[in-house]
Structures are given as C-alpha cells and as structure tokens.
Structure 1
C-alpha cells in the first residue's frame, strides 16, 4: 500500500524522482484541466513520460500542499492545493488504481484560478 505520508513528502518537496517511483512501468496518468477538458484530456503513458511530466511540474516556482489523502491496497485518492508566487492557485483532485503497490492508472482533475 502506498503511504500517504510518503506521497506528502514527495509532493510538498517537489521530488520528481520520488513521485515517479510510485508508478508502474506501464502506468497511465490522465489530466483534466482548463487546457485539457474531459472531451480531450491529456493522457500520459508510461513511467518515463510520467516522470518527464513531474519533472516539468516540479521545476515550476510553486508551493504544493497535500490537503487530504486516503489509500488502501487497490486505490489511492488525494487532494492537492498549489500556489504560484503571483497568487494564482490550482487545486487538484486525484484518484488512482493501484496494482502490487504501484499506481497503474490515475486521473487528476485540476481547477485553476481564472
């Protein structure tokens, strides 16, 4: 089971390497946001591509806070609040399916300040 405290440290520490290790080699990350609406979400396939995504996110000058999270042997759900220095805020709700302790499929829904 994926430990919420470990996820919290990785997210809040902007630790791309640690975040990437949560995913299975053939994982899928689906991101819905203002730029990727439900009809055409951004789909990122494979741990290497997911790692590149988190590398870009972790390089941004922004603060991440894991607001809440729950996990069992087959699922992980968490919410994350982010803030840029200019005051722009982003909120993310994530739901993931786990297989053998790794994220197999995750869907993130992000809401940005207008």
Structure 2
C-alpha cells in the first residue's frame, strides 16, 4: 500500500485558501489536470465557462484575488472524495457574490469543480 505525500483536503485547508489575501494557497489545492465549470447569468448550464488545468485555474484565481474584495467560507461538507461548499464575497463598493461548489477530490487535490454563482444587480 502506497503512502500519499499530498496534504489531506479539509474544510480548514479550504478556509485558509479561500479567505487568504492572495490566491496562492487556494491554487495549491488544485490538481495539475483539474477542471472547473462555472455557471452564472452569463455562462448558463448549456454553455458553462470551462477552465482547464492548473495554470488556467491559477490565472483565473489570481485575477479574482487581485480585486478589492473579501472572501468567506460559509460552510463546507467533506465526505470521502467529494466536497461541497458555500462562499460569500463582497466587493469594496458593497456588491455581494454568492457561490456554491461541488468538487471531486483525487489524492487530496481538487480534480473537478462545478461552481454556480450569483451577483447583486
């Protein structure tokens, strides 16, 4: 039986990643070949935005974390190789964003993520 050197995914590791000042810790939670599908008002279920691979996901998250906003993990449930979580964000001007994610884990890293998000309008 092999021994994994990857840190175990947990609500605490996710919280540290999401609520950090930069995307660095959050990016580290994704597998090299991870895929993220994003569904919102502009990218609806039949045509979601798909971000593939660690580098594309890192670039997207670095863009998000360069904005003047806060991120908060509202709740997280981890069961085996699946997890679900809620995240709330607020821009400096008071606009709020809420997202819900379902993720699949592989070797302690996020391999797949489906995110549904909504903004104040």
What TM-score, normalized to structure 1?
A: 0.94
Question: Could you tell me which residue of structure 2 aligns to residue 36 of structure 1?
Answer: 43
- Structure 2 unpaired stretches of 5+: 1-7
- Structure 1 unpaired stretches of 5+: none
Question: Could you tell me which residue of structure 1 aligns to residue 105 of structure 2?
Answer: 98
The question of whether the paired residues in 1 share the 8 Å contact of 2:22 and 2:66 is answered with: no
Bigger shift: residues 39-48 or 69-78: 69-78
CA distance in 2, matches of 1:14, 1:30: 24
| 1:33-77 C-alpha deviation (Å, 9 max, x unpaired) | 122111211000000100001000111101111000011330111
Question: Could you tell me which residue of structure 2 aligns to residue 74 of structure 1?
Answer: 81
Structure with larger Rg: 2
What TM-score, normalized to structure 2?
A: 0.89
Residue 5, structure 1, aligned to residue 12, structure 2: yes
Question: Runs in 1 of length 4+ with deviation above 3 angstroms?
Answer: none
Question: Could you tell me which residue of structure 1 aligns to residue 72 of structure 2?
Answer: 65
The question of whether the paired residues in 2 share the 8 Å contact of 1:73 and 1:101 is answered with: no
Give the paired residue count: 114
Deviation at 1:100, TM superposition (A): 1.2
CA distance in 1, matches of 2:59, 2:98: 21
Deviation at 1:13, TM superposition (A): 1.2
Q: Any idea what SS the aligned residue of 2:89 has?
A: strand
